[in-house]
Amino acid sequence: QVQLVESGGGSVQPGGSLKLSCAASGSILDYSVMGWFRQAPGKQREGVAWISISDSTTHYSDSVKGRFTISISKDKNMVYLQMDSLKPEDTAVYYCAAESHYVLLLLRLEHNEYDYWGQGTQVTVSS
Which pLDDT value is given to residue 2?
Answer: 79
Which pLDDT value is given to residue 51?
Answer: 98
pLDDT under 50: residue ranges of the chain: none
Phi, psi (rounded to 5 degrees) for 56: 60, 25
Which pLDDT value is given to residue 1?
Answer: 78
